[in-house]
Structure 1
Amino acid sequence: MDRTCQAPAPTDPVSPSVVAVAGPAGSGKTTLGRALAVALGRPILDLDTLTNPLLDRLPLLGVDGHWNADGPHRVAVRDARYAVLRCAAADLVAVGQSPILVAPFTAELAGGDAWRALGAAVAPAPITVVHLTGAPELLEARRALRGADRDRQRPRVDRATEIAVDVVGIDAALTTEQQVFRVLRALGVRTPVDAASALFGETFDAVLFDLDGTLLDSTAAVHRSWSRVADEFGFDLHDSAIGHGMPAAAGLSAILGPESGPAAGARLIALETDDVADVTAIPGALDTLAGLDDIPWAVVTSGTPPVAGARMAAAGISAPHIVITADDVDRGKPDPEPYLLGAARLGVDPRRCLVVEDAPAGITAGRAAGCRVLGIRGTVDLTDSGADLLVDALDQIEIVARGEGFALTPR
């Protein structure tokens, strides 16, 4: 029997666990599920793959029309599909595998009988639910693009999903790489810290933190705001990548020119100031800031004061006395001016400052200012960014007193 769809049995005894990737049609469940299966080396069970080929070919008694259309048959078809998924998952767990399950899981998210049935099927394996969400217009555009028959037959209006179980929320607008990174971090799958890094031997007098992607995760909100501006001002969203880590005005002027750039920048600021509902602190950020005590520190961001203030408040970060924003400098990152100004206002030699950054433009700015740079993964690939050390988040390092200054140590 061909079993190439299943991962080999583990050689070391491990306790199976289950990751359930949930979300509405068009949210990217299959793409994320497959990427997680590759990253974790796990088998994947997709509800559509397991059941759609049979349903598409098998005339269903008493069903007038497509099996996915609204009608009295819909509950029975749904129950049968999820029974197949549960049985297949139970088989994998029984032989020591840790499957990734891909399905909408709408009823399961509400708790109740559906959730208990899923839990009983894979017991005693714990279930981590990854819930993809996205703007309705984004999901509708994706469904229209793929043109699947099951999408044309589904109800036109998505029912609001009631969530009564713990989930790892992931925005559908993020890139697959950004999504996988956040899920792995939530699962405790981390990139080991290079304990031999020379940065751990350095002593510093002050810390200069970037904000977005460094102290707080606003990536999804940034993408939503840029998407709106791209639609309204008629440019390709992929062009906005040139502005990552740079002031928005500079990035938009580079895309649209000096005539439309300022108006687009003002619109972007308004959107980003309002869109902070899912802005959260990066793991370890709040503890790191709370432990600084008398260590001088500042925030050096390419954002504007309204955006920076709104995001820090949403993430529960108390603003420091020194905040350098795009309004304080003539030349933004990757120019060193923002970090040189931050060091000057703290009264510290920039060569004695540690910069914490997530973007290549910011890392370049910090290095050009004479600072050492700690890079935070999760926004873009920093492999060749020039950072002195890379970590997944601030919870992987600790700031400790050393002489009259401070140093980093791995946790």
Structure 2
Amino acid sequence: MPAHAYRDRSFGAFLFDMDGTVLSSIAVTERVYGAWAIRHGLDVASFLAGIHGIRAVDTVRRLNLPGVDPETEAAALLAAECADLGGIEAIAGARAFLSSLPSERWAIVTSAPRELALLRLAAGGLPVPPVLVTAEDVAHGKPAPDCFLEGARRLGQRIEDCAVFEDAPAGIRAAEASGAAVVVITATHAHPMTTPHPAIAGYAALRASPMPDGRLRFTAAAA
């Protein structure tokens, strides 16, 4: 089901996850987290399968490793990610789509810390919106809905009037819990995902048309 399945509905704002949604950072994430997993004697494949869309501190905390401080390890992971921006690139059509949106009608809502988010957006050549919600801005990360609720609040919109663009299960659950409409981006998915939500590989075939009241409506791109 394409995102313009919502063509008969208008939205007050769009909220975008970052990694896997507007840019691909899989290569660096798997390098950094894979090395960390090896150092701690974890099964790399199973560990990497569960990290996407979740704050580093929450990822480490849920492992409950003896003698491991989640805050210290999250800081080390952040430093490693900030130092490695190789292979980061925008999802197809994301730059043009984001640039076409009124700045007061969209936000980036990510589990990455702000420092890393800014570095990755720059590496992907993507615009930075006035509203950027990052890991430091909420007490509870995805799959809790707090980040999307905060994004809508900062934009002055009801969350029920927002569409969330997500790629990872934790982020999708957070968006569902918030009450927003959901669009799933599948560009970085290695395997098909079963989802009841509209799904698209990228943004090349997507347009958002502003209405007289400033709200946004999906339209299909011209062939």
What TM-score do you get using the length of structure 2 for normalisation?
0.90
Corresponding position of 2:118:
309
Q: Distance in 2 between matches of 1:228 and 1:375?
A: 29
Instruction: Please report how far the alpha carbon of residue 258 of structure 1 lies from its aligned counterpart in structure 2 after TM superposition.
Output: 7.4
Q: 2:42 aligns with which of 218, 235, 239?
A: 235
Distance 1:352 1:239, change over 3 A: same
Cα RMSD for the two superposed structures: 1.9
1:257 counterpart SS class = coil
> For 1:270, which of 79, 90, 94 is the aligned residue?
79
1:230-379 superposed matches below 5 A: 230-237=37-44, 238-257=46-65, 259-260=67-68, 261-293=70-102, 295-379=104-188
CA distance in 1, matches of 2:64, 2:10: 44
Does the alignment pair 1:394 with 2:203?
yes
- Cα distance in 2 for partners of 1:342, 1:358 equals 17
Local SS of the residue matching 1:246: coil
Larger radius of gyration: 1
Q: What residue identity is the alignment partner of 1:329?
A: V
Residue 269 (structure 1) shift? 0.7
Q: Which digits, 9 at most, give the CA deviation of each residue in 1:41-62, with x for residues without a partner? A: xxxxxxxxxxxxxxxxxxxxxx
Closer, same or farther in 2 for the Cα pair 1:196/1:341, shift >3 Å? closer
Structure 2 runs not aligned, ≥5 long:
none
1:366·1:373 contact (CA, 8 Å) conserved in 2? yes
Change (3 A) 1:222 1:195: closer
TM-score by length of 1: 0.50
Deviations 1:280-303, CA, capped at 9 Å, x for gaps: 111111101111135511110011
Identity %: 34
One-letter amino acid of the counterpart of residue 41, structure 2: G
Aligned residues: 217
CA contact (8 A) 1:298 1:321 kept: yes
Aligned match for 2:15, one of 198, 203, 208:
208
Aligned to 2:217: 407
User: Which position in structure 2 is the counterpart of 1:171?
Assistant: none
1:67-146 to structure 2, matched below 5 A, reads: none
Q: For the residues of structure 2 that align with 1:255 and 1:290, how far apart are their CA atoms?
A: 39
Alpha-carbon separation, structure 1, partners of 2:52 and 2:77: 14
Pair 1:244–1:295, CA change in 2 (3 A): same
What is the CA-CA distance between 1:353 and the residue it aligns to?
0.6
Distance 1:279 1:327, change over 3 A: same
Letter in 2 for 1:236: D
Deviation at 1:394, TM superposition (A): 1.2
Give 1:259 deviation, angstroms. Answer: 4.1
**In 2, distance between residues paired with 1:202 and 1:295?**
19
Distance 1:352 1:395, change over 3 A: same
Shift of 1:333: 0.7
> 2: distance between equivalents of 1:224 and 1:253?
20
- TM superposition shift of 1:263: 2.9
Q: Secondary structure at the match of 1:207?
A: strand
The one-letter amino acid paired with 2:218 is: L
Q: Once the 2 structures are TM-superposed, how far is the Cα of residue 264 of structure 1 from its aligned partner?
A: 2.4
- Give secondary structure in 2 for the equivalent of 1:367: helix
The structural deviation recorded for 1:403 is: 4.1
Task: Give the counterpart letter for 2:15 in structure 1.
Answer: L
